[in-house]
């Protein structure tokens, strides 16, 4: 069997939080060891919602890349690149747009959902409708067979398979049909117990200082019925406990003591502050290192984008050939 290729991407949302880490990044770091892997900063995708004010996109790109590198994405093991620096993404998106029925895009569930959620923006644009098709181009350009994504992205992957099938049916076999990699990832609650999200203001960032972490742990939602140390608590539903399961070696023990009423929330939070900070310290240290040589970081992304462009251009040559569009004479395929 041919070796499998992994591609995934994230929209540049700035500094990442623990939900991003456990939900995706930790997984990527593992996958880079097993597969030929491409990881992409989806900055054109960011524009689909941020076109009205693009001023934060650039700094968000580099903040996110710093977190990627600090957590162990390694340019020696995978290709890390930036979508807008690999022009063939635009070219394949265009080609696919010719053969993709509008109804396929209109029925993607995230389309209407996001429109509802982001009422503060006018998303009745061509680019926003085409968001999942640009994503299909991202995947297909690398002939990726495996795409690590969250459940919320499964519909986009389904669309990608349909588009690939349609292309192959119309013009001949060029693209494999990619499968999701749906790794069981721990649910990371935000400090208030809702899903961790920057927009809810409940996120612990990978780059938070030790002081920030301490302050955030203090605000974490706990069992509201446990007031005194000897009250019997309910760790399930307690954010502090959920975090202990991710960071604290003796989490099981803490669960028992909470239920038995032999530990209080203050001591419990103090312990979490220690283990969370111990877990984040190596990432912080790496981040400080990379932040001190931002030109190297930019070169890594430039190099990665060059490698990605070479692969993507070879695929475009196949796609143009299949569609029977000749490449210009005197020119080797880009
Ligand atoms: N849409 C994805 C998200 O919001 C990001 C993304 C863009 C992506 N292109 C991709 C994910 C290609 C996987 C493959 O999370
Ligand atoms: Fe949560 Fe710990 Fe308090 Fe139990 S003791 S409710 S696990 S903070």
**pLDDT at residue number 115:** 87
Q: What pLDDT score was predicted for residue 159?
A: 98
The reported pLDDT for the residue numbered 36 is 98
Å from CA of 183 to ligand 1 middle: 16
Q: Looking at residue 328, what is its pLDDT?
A: 79
- Between 116 and 1, residue with greater pLDDT: 116
Arithmetic mean of pLDDT, 131-154 = 96
Ligand 1, from 7, 45, 83, 134: best to mutate by most atoms within 8 Å of Cβ? 45
pLDDT at residue 333 greater than cutoff 80: no
Tell me the pLDDT tens digit for each residue of 246-292. 999 999 999 999 999 999 999 999 999 999 999 999 999 999 999 99
Mean pLDDT of the chain: 96
> What pLDDT, on a 0 to 100 scale, did the predictor assign at position 334?
60
**pLDDT, position 1:** 54
pLDDT at residue 329, rounded to an integer? 81
**How far apart are the CA of 274 and the centre of ligand 2, in A?**
15
Q: Choose which residue among 191, 229, 230, 233 to substitute to test ligand 2 binding: the one with the highest number of ligand atoms within 8 A of its C-beta.
A: 233
pLDDT of residue 117: 85
* Measured CA distances, 196 to 140, 153, 266, 272, 288 (Å): 31, 18, 22, 17, 24
> Atom 15 (ligand 1): residue with closest C-alpha?
10
Q: In this predicted structure, which of 49-53, 122-126, 301-305, 326-330 has the lowest mean pLDDT?
A: 326-330
- The fraction of the chain above a pLDDT of 70, given in percent, is 98
Domains of the chain and any CATH numbers: 5-187+294-323 (3.40.50.620), 208-289 (1.10.240.10)
Could you read off the pLDDT of 226-255 as tens digits, one per residue? 999 999 999 999 999 999 999 999 999 999
For residue 184, what pLDDT band results from cuts at 50, 70 and 90?
confident
Percentage with pLDDT > 90 across the chain: 90
- Summarised one tens digit per residue, pLDDT across range 61-96 is 999 999 999 999 999 999 999 999 999 999 999 999
pTM of the entire structure? 0.95
- Cα of 17 vs centre of ligand 2, distance in Å, is 22
Mean pLDDT, to the nearest integer, of 303-319?
A: 98
**Atom of ligand 1 at shortest distance to CA of 83?**
9
Question: What tens digit of pLDDT does each residue of 190-208 get?
Answer: 999 999 999 899 999 999 9
* pLDDT score of 222 more than 60: yes
């Amino acid at each position: 069997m041919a070796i499998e290729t992994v591609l995934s991407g994230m929209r540049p949302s700035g500094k990442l939080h623990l939900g991003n880490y456990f939900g995706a990044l930790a997984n990527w770091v593992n996958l880079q060891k097993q597969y030929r892997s491409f990881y992409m900063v989806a900055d054109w995708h960011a524009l689909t919602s941020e076109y009205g004010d693009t001023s934060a996109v650039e700094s968000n790109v580099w903040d996110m890349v710093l977190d990627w590198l600090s957590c162990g994405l390694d340019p020696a093991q995978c290709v890390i690149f930036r979508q807008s620096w690999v022009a063939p993404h635009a070219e394949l998106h265009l080609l696919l747009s010719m053969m993709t029925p509008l109804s396929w895009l209109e029925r993607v569930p995230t389309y209407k959902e996001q429109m509802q959620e982001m009422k503060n923006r006018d998303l009745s644009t061509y680019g926003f409708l085409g968001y999942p098709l640009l994503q299909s181009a991202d995947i297909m350009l690398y002939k990726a067979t495996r795409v690590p994504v969250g459940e919320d992205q499964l519909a986009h992957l389904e669309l990608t398979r349909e588009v690939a099938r349609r292309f192959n049916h119309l013009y001949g076999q060029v693209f494999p049909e990619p499968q999701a990699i749906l790794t069981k990832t721990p649910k990371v609650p935000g400090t208030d117990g809702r899903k961790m999200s920057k927009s809810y203001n409940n996120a612990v960032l990978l780059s938070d200082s030790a002081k920030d972490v301490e302050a955030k742990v203090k605000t974490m939602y706990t069992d509201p019925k446990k007031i005194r140390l000897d009250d019997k608590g309910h760790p399930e539903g307690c954010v502090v406990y959920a975090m202990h399961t991710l960071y604290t070696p003796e989490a099981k023990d803490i669960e028992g003591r909470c239920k038995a009423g032999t530990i209080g929330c203050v001591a419990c939070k103090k312990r979490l502050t220690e283990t969370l900070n111990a877990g984040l310290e190596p990432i912080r240290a790496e981040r400080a290192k990379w932040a001190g040589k931002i030109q190297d970081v930019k070169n890594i992304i430039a190099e990665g984008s060059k490698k990605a462009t070479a692969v993507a251009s070879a695929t475009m040559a196949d796609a143009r050939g299949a569609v029977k569009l000749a490449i210009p004479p005197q020119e080797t395929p880009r």
